[in-house]
Amino acid sequence: MPDVVPYAYAKACGIIGKSLIGKRISSLTGLRSLSELERLIFPESLSELPGRELLISLERRIIARTIRQILLIVDSYEKPPGLLVQMLRVYEYSDLKAVLQNIVSGEKDIPSLCDIGRFGTVNFNAYPDTGAMLKDTEFAFLLLQELKSITSGSADIALIETKLDYLYYQGIIKYMSYLSSEDSAIIQRILVEEISLRNCVWALRLRTYFNKSTKETAGYLMDIIPNNKTGKNYSLASDALKSLDFPLDTRQAWEGWKWENLLNKENHNENWSANPRHFQNAASQYLYRLTLRSFHRHPMSISSIFCFIKLKQFEEDFLTSIAEGLALGIDSTGVFKLLEVSA
């Protein structure tokens, strides 16, 4: 197809213009029920399902809609760029994590999976035979390193997820090397912040919820060295590693840390403690704003499509969070507050 990049960019702009992010996010305020959310997102296909079943259905349809819209752009290319395919395959990585979790837990039924069409590589039809599922895929290293622990139910799923995340980001970094310097700079800025924050979230969660030691926590971080033309190498785990020295009950000790402003504020009426959920939500909003600003910086380029995919995935996460909040009796305005989102 001639002029495929301008075509893909125009389609992406059209989809983003109709998405429930940016200026249109305010339409999500004031919702009080899952049925209201369903009418807003899927007015053409309303269901009559009860609460819990409606939640599951909504979440699946929200994810499926995001994938369809991403596929619409990726399939615009006769030979889609590897970077965009790798981004789409994040759903396969997520499905694999869920499947491995089921196997370790002894679940007989396979979890609900995402359909990324011709870009999928794992043979999920072979579930629960891990070897058959992963044969001839990039995930085959798990056969050698983790197969026994997975099938015996003793695997450390969190550690396996870290390895999968590392593999995913290494793929993104590899495909970045084929891009123009301008595209690469825009994408690397977002990617560097995303990986650093991912590591910081993991560090905070492991220390807070699982009482992991500094040494144990360090083993779950992705020690990625990004492409750097200046010749100065730096690890994207460094900010998380620094945080391991800070006490979880003294905010003053965190002053000067790179991501200090994303931590929950002190409340004079109660003792402070680091809140991983607040930090994760604030980090997500920071990355969303960075991506939104970058979307139009280099129009009709691979970096603009990279940002498009990221924005659609932010919308997906936000909509599923609102659905989960509504199912728990929290109205959408309350979910906005919990997620550090302003309309």
Residue 2 has pLDDT above 50, yes or no: no
Candidate from 19-23, 97-101, 239-243 with smallest mean pLDDT: 19-23
- CB-based contact 151:130 (threshold 8 Å): yes
Task: Please give the residue that has the higher pLDDT: either 233 or 203.
Answer: 203
What pLDDT is stored for residue 233 in this prediction?
Answer: 65
Instruction: Establish if 123 belongs to a structural domain.
Output: no
How many beta carbons lie within 10 A of that of residue 228, not counting itself? Answer: 11
What pLDDT is stored for residue 230 in this prediction?
Answer: 47
Q: Is 324 exposed, middle or buried (0-12, 13-18, 19+ CB in 10 A)?
A: middle
Residue 341 has pLDDT above 90, yes or no: no
Three-class secondary structure of residue 127 per DSSP: coil
- Mean pLDDT along residues 257-273: 93
Q: Residue 237 is inside which H or E element, if any?
A: none
**% of the chain surpassing 70 pLDDT:** 97
Residue 232 has pLDDT above 80, yes or no: no
pLDDT tens by residue, 113-128: 999 999 999 999 999 9
Range of the domain at 265: 181-299
Residue 343: pLDDT band with limits 50, 70, 90 = low
Please state the domain count of the chain.
1
Instruction: Establish if 264 belongs to a structural domain.
Output: yes
Spell out a b/e string for 61-79, using b for 16 or more CB atoms within 10 Å of the CB, else e.
Answer: bbbebbbebbbebbebbee
pTM of the model: 0.93
Whole-number average pLDDT of the chain: 92
> How many whole angstroms separate alpha carbon 135 and alpha carbon 138?
9
Residue 81 has pLDDT above 70, yes or no: yes
Instruction: Establish if 207 belongs to a structural domain.
Output: yes
Instruction: Establish if 43 belongs to a structural domain.
Output: no
Residue 4: pLDDT band with limits 50, 70, 90 = confident
What pLDDT is stored for residue 225 in this prediction?
Answer: 74
- CB-based contact 199:237 (threshold 8 Å): yes
What pLDDT is stored for residue 1 in this prediction?
Answer: 40
> How many whole angstroms separate alpha carbon 242 and alpha carbon 32?
42
> How many whole angstroms separate alpha carbon 318 and alpha carbon 20?
9
pLDDT tens by residue, 145-203: 888 888 888 888 888 999 999 999 999 999 998 999 999 999 999 999 999 999 999 99
Instruction: Establish if 201 belongs to a structural domain.
Output: yes
Instruction: Establish if 226 belongs to a structural domain.
Output: yes
Instruction: Establish if 270 belongs to a structural domain.
Output: yes
What pLDDT is stored for residue 55 in this prediction?
Answer: 95
What pLDDT is stored for residue 316 in this prediction?
Answer: 97
pLDDT tens by residue, 282-322: 999 999 999 999 998 999 899 999 999 999 999 999 999 99
- Mean pLDDT along residues 38-53: 90
> How many whole angstroms separate alpha carbon 140 and alpha carbon 147?
10
Instruction: Establish if 204 belongs to a structural domain.
Output: yes
